[in-house]
């Protein structure tokens, strides 16, 4: 009996020691097995290399909603960073439960990540984390690329200084364009506003100047500064929209003419290619260009609510190349009477197809020998020279209600990448999420219907009736 009790005591002691040892080892060493198809919970070798060279502690704070699927995915990713390096401290917060911390970092949306060291910080928005996949069923998760890029770029202005023009009724960087601004900062850009009459000059660190929806005209001195900026190698991203027909925009039109473009005073109507049958929200066809490669690759459209049309000049200024990016259907037209409440085609309107966006670059020798024909549906496949500007006849697609639609953000982001000639040097592939689905033939669907709706319930009824009948006759 004593021997048996001693054996039980020894076995229990051994099990307790083993249990404690296993838990201590699990707490210290994180051996994990990723069995997902896309390796969603495995950090790339590039990320391991970056965090393996950290000399200073990095703090990562994620503001996510508890219980959300996207929040869980972000949490799982960031935990891997914490497991991979003792120099990375990861924490999670719900902005609604801890508003003081959210206000400290100026966080206004869920799925925002703050990466910081002792002196610098980077903000990653949800638009940096997710992008449309190659088909309508898939979504790309770019979380690792965004977080590793933020860690690598802490304290460095790795790409460019982007200035948004102010003072002409343009959209506000802090309110109207806050989501786009967060995206740009998450990509490593530095942004700021520029009021030319106040500053009196264009800052020397300006690489790109963006004008979103100006409602007032440029004065001569401002136009001269912008033209000189372009001549000295600066880039411009110009987005217009329908304006009050009583207000002249001759200064802006002169700036565009110097780049080979004409801007019409109209509002585009397209009944054939429109968003949810709203003819004032055209969904233009995408032309082949470096700016639109990502749209063509992912089969994405651009949705442009309330837009005006553009046109390439018949005589392009020497040394320039003008390429169409977005074009409407032939049934579209530009309504020129903006004071009428109803839109209808008449002899004063501009017939389609209409061009809604252009890319301007320096002409190559090939382009000079074979000039582009203005207003063609499919642009010739010519070599593109050094970028100068991207001009869009729409500003609303970057607003809070439209930026997340279809390929709107991709179009804007790729326009800036092309202008500044930046690319993803990390080369960390996105983790694609695609729900499993099965293509059923008509016969297969019928078989499933009869099996689940007819045969299975009938079998249950028959078995029940048989049991009842047997018990009744006992």
State the pairing for strand pair 112-116/58-63: antiparallel
Residue 254, CA distances (Å) to 213, 227, 259, 322, 442 in order: 16, 10, 9, 16, 61
Q: What's the CA gap between 78 and 71, in Å, rounded?
A: 11
The answer, yes or no, to whether residue 236 has pLDDT greater than 90, is yes
Q: What's the CA gap between 472 and 376, in Å, rounded?
A: 85
The answer, yes or no, to whether residue 212 has pLDDT greater than 90, is yes
Determine phi and psi for 294, rounding to 5 degrees.
Answer: -65, -30
pLDDT of res. 345? 78
With pLDDT > 90 as the criterion, what percentage of the chain qualifies?
A: 38
Length of the chain: 474
State the pairing for strand pair 206-212/235-239: parallel
Closest CA to 361 of 396, 394, 325, 328: 325
What does the pLDDT look like over 259-283, one tens digit per residue? Answer: 999 999 999 999 999 998 899 999 9
Name the residue with tokens 């700036």: 255
Query: pLDDT band for position 232 (50/70/90)?
Result: very high
Please name the residues in contact with 22: beta carbons below 8 A apart, sequence gap of 6 or more: none
Instruction: Give kind and range of the element (H or E) at residue 163.
Output: strand 161-166
Q: What's the CA gap between 174 and 181, in Å, rounded?
A: 8
What does the pLDDT look like over 360-374, one tens digit per residue? Answer: 999 876 555 444 444
Q: Which 3 state secondary structure label does DSSP give 2?
A: helix
Cβ atoms of 328 and 352 within 8 Å: the answer is yes
pLDDT of res. 373? 46
First to last CA, the chain: 53
Q: What is the DSSP letter of 445?
A: H
Please name the residues in contact with 296: beta carbons below 8 A apart, sequence gap of 6 or more: 286, 288
Q: What is the DSSP letter of 454?
A: I
pLDDT of res. 370? 45
174, 180, 184, 187: CA torsion to nearest 10: 140
Q: What's the CA gap between 350 and 165, in Å, rounded?
A: 30
Closest CA to 77 of 52, 40, 112, 109: 40
pLDDT of res. 69? 78
What pTM was estimated for this model as a whole?
0.73
Of 116-120, 164-168, 228-232, 268-272, where does mean pLDDT reach its minimum?
116-120
pLDDT of res. 28? 64
Q: Which 3 state secondary structure label does DSSP give 165?
A: strand
The answer, yes or no, to whether residue 439 has pLDDT greater than 80, is no
Q: What's the CA gap between 175 and 168, in Å, rounded?
A: 16
As given in the structure block, the two tokens for residue 33 are: 């097995």
Residue 332, CA distances (Å) to 142, 328, 329, 418 in order: 37, 6, 6, 29
Query: pLDDT band for position 39 (50/70/90)?
Result: low
As given in the structure block, the two tokens for residue 62 are: 């994620």
Q: What does 386-424 look like in DSSP terms, one character per residue? A: SEEEEEES-SGGGSTTTTTSTTHHHHHHHHHHHHHT---
Please name the residues in contact with 167: beta carbons below 8 A apart, sequence gap of 6 or more: 195, 196, 197, 198, 216
Name the residue with tokens 């260009």: 289
Domains of the chain are 45-134 (3.40.30.10), 160-420 (3.40.50.880)
pLDDT of res. 3? 53
pLDDT of res. 432? 67
Q: If you average pLDDT over every residue of the chain, what do you get? A: 84
């Amino acid at each position: 009996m004593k021997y048996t009790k001693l054996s039980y005591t020894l076995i229990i002691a051994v099990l307790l020691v083993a249990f404690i040892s296993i838990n201590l080892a699990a707490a210290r060493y994180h051996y994990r097995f990723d069995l997902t198809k896309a390796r969603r919970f495995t950090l790339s070798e590039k990320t391991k290399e970056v965090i393996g060279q950290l000399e200073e502690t990095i703090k990562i704070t994620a503001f996510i909603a508890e219980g959300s699927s996207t929040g869980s995915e972000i949490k799982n990713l960031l935990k891997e960073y914490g497991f991979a390096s003792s120099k990375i401290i990861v924490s999670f917060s719900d902005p609604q439960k801890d508003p003081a911390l959210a206000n400290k970092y100026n966080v206004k949306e869920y799925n925002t990540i703050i990466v910081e060291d002792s002196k610098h910080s980077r903000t990653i928005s949800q638009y940096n984390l997710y992008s449309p996949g190659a088909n309508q069923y898939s979504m790309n998760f770019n979380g690792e690329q965004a977080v590793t890029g933020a860690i690598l770029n802490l304290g460095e202005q790795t790409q460019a200084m982007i200035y948004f023009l102010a003072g002409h009724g343009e959209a506000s960087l802090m309110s109207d364009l806050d989501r786009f601004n967060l995206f740009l900062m998450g990509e490593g850009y530095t942004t700021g506003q520029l009021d030319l009459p106040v500053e009196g000059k264009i800052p020397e660190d300006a690489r790109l100047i963006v004008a979103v929806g100006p409602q007032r005209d440029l004065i001569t001195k401002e136009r001269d500064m912008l033209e000189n900026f372009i001549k000295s190698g600066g880039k411009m991203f110009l987005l217009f929209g329908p304006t009050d027909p009583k207000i002249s925009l001759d200064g802006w039109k002169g700036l565009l003419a110097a780049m080979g473009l004409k801007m019409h005073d109209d509002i585009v109507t397209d009944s054939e290619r429109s968003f949810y049958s709203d003819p004032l929200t055209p969904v233009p066809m995408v032309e082949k260009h470096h700016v639109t490669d990502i749209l063509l690759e992912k089969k994405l459209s651009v949705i442009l609510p309330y837009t005006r049309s553009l046109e390439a000049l018949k005589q392009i200024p020497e040394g320039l190349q003008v390429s169409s990016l977005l074009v409407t259907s032939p049934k579209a037209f530009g309504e020129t009477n903006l004071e009428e409440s109803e839109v209808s085609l008449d002899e004063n309107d501009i017939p389609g197809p209409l061009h809604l966006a252009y890319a301007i670059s320096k002409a190559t020798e090939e382009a000079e020998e074979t000039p582009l024909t203005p207003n063609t549906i499919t642009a010739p496949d010519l070599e593109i020279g050094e970028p100068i500007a991207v001009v869009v006849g729409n500003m609303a697609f970057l607003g809070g209600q439209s930026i997340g639609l279809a390929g709107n953000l991709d179009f804007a982001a790729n326009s800036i990448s092309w202008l500044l000639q930046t690319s993803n040097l990390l080369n960390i592939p996105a983790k694609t999420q695609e729900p499993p689905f099965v293509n059923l033939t008509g016969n297969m669907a019928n078989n499933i219907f009869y099996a689940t709706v007819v045969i299975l319930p009938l079998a249950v009824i028959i078995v029940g009736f048989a049991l009842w009948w047997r018990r009744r006759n006992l």
